[in-house]
């Protein structure tokens, strides 16, 4: 389960500004129910002062989508449209005392709905994030939206991009393209800091990786000292190995097992434990 702040819980249980403004001066609609989250923002704007006198929303989404939408409407009421446009998705998250990283896309959705409503009010075309080449078919996310999320939120990993835009969170087909966009945006300065999205480690893949590391990294090292090791079993994250040859008589056998564990944690999964069987 996500760790929500008290503010998110409060605004989820007692949301404010839910509903429709029948004679709204601007409407911004983003997301799609098919993709799991959708938000429709209604604004009432005073013609004289240009200030937002009322803001309401309808959303189809989780607790953080409801809380983020409430936060957005509270943040923009009383502001002019241009002042409201200075509200960022980080401001929405900050109003809530933070959001789980996996739910940051809800704050981004709020910001996008605001931009769409502002464009509607000004008679402009849709904001740039909606333009561009479609990258993620599962969630309808364009390269422009991904680029912007990376720059505005200082993202470094494909996983982060998924958290902030949902792109890559479905079938995963678009992840290489997301990594390519990350590389392009960060090229020169921080490209080396890009961390590839973690492939889901299935049991079969985990066992294959453990075998591979033992064969290629660990055994050759032990064999140089006349020792050897064999993989006996993998049960969940518990790896059982058997020390062989000189390693069986070695007083440092416990240290060897610990070293194997360190290597497997480094190269396969940080959750592995190793014991001698």
Q: Single out the residue of 136, 130, 85, 131 nearest to residue 111, CA to CA.
A: 85
Judged by CB under 6 A, which stretch of 97-105, 144-152, 165-173, 264-272 contacts ligand FES? 165-173
Q: Does 61 bind ligand FES (CB under 6 A)?
A: no
- Give min distance, CB of 105 to ligand FES, in A: 13
Q: Does 262 bind ligand FES (CB under 6 A)?
A: no
Q: Single out the residue of 162, 157, 148, 165 nearest to residue 182, CA to CA.
A: 157
Total interface residues for ligand FES by CB under 6 A = 11
Q: In angstroms, rounded to a whole number, what is the distance separating the alpha carbons of residues 112 and 125?
A: 13
Of 45, 167, 186, 247, the one binding ligand FES by CB under 6 A: 167
Judged by CB under 6 A, which stretch of 80-88, 132-140, 143-151, 255-263 contacts ligand FES? 132-140
Judged by CB under 6 A, which stretch of 68-76, 93-101, 166-174, 256-264 contacts ligand FES? 166-174
The yes-or-no answer on residue 35 being catalytic is yes
Q: In angstroms, rounded to a whole number, what is the distance separating the alpha carbons of residues 84 and 88?
A: 9
Selecting among 62, 106, 136, 247, the annotated active-site residue is: 106
Instruction: Provide the binding-site residues for ligand FES, judged by CB under 6 A.
Output: 136-138, 167-174
Which residues form the catalytic set? 35, 106
């Amino acid at each position: 389960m996500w760790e929500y702040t008290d503010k998110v819980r409060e605004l989820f249980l007692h949301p404010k500004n839910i509903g429709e403004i029948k004679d709204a001066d601007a409407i911004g609609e983003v997301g799609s129910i098919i993709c799991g989250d959708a938000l429709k923002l209604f604004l009432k704007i005073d013609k004289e002062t240009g200030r937002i006198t009322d803001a309401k929303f309808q959303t189809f989404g989780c607790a953080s989508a409801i809380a983020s939408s409430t936060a957005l409407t509270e943040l923009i009421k009383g502001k002019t449209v241009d002042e409201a446009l200075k509200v960022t998705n980080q401001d929405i998250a900050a109003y809530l005392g933070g959001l789980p990283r996996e739910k940051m896309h809800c704050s981004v959705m709020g910001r996008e709905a605001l931009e769409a409503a502002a464009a509607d009010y000004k008679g402009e075309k849709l904001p740039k994030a909606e333009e561009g080449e479609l990258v993620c078919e599962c969630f309808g996310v364009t390269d422009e939206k991904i680029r912007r999320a990376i720059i505005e939120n200082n993202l470094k990993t494909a996983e982060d991009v998924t958290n902030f835009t949902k792109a890559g969170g479905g079938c995963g087909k678009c992840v290489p393209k997301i990594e390519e966009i990350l590389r392009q945006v960060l090229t020169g300065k921080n490209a080396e800091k890009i961390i590839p999205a973690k492939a889901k480690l299935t049991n079969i893949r985990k066992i294959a990786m453990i075998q591979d590391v033992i064969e290629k990294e660990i055994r050759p090292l032990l064999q140089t000292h006349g020792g050897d090791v064999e993989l006996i079993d993998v049960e969940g994250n518990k790896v059982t190995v058997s020390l062989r040859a000189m390693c069986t008589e070695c007083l440092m056998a416990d240290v060897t097992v610990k070293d194997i564990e360190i290597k497997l944690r480094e190269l396969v999964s940080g959750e592995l434990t190793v014991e001698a069987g």
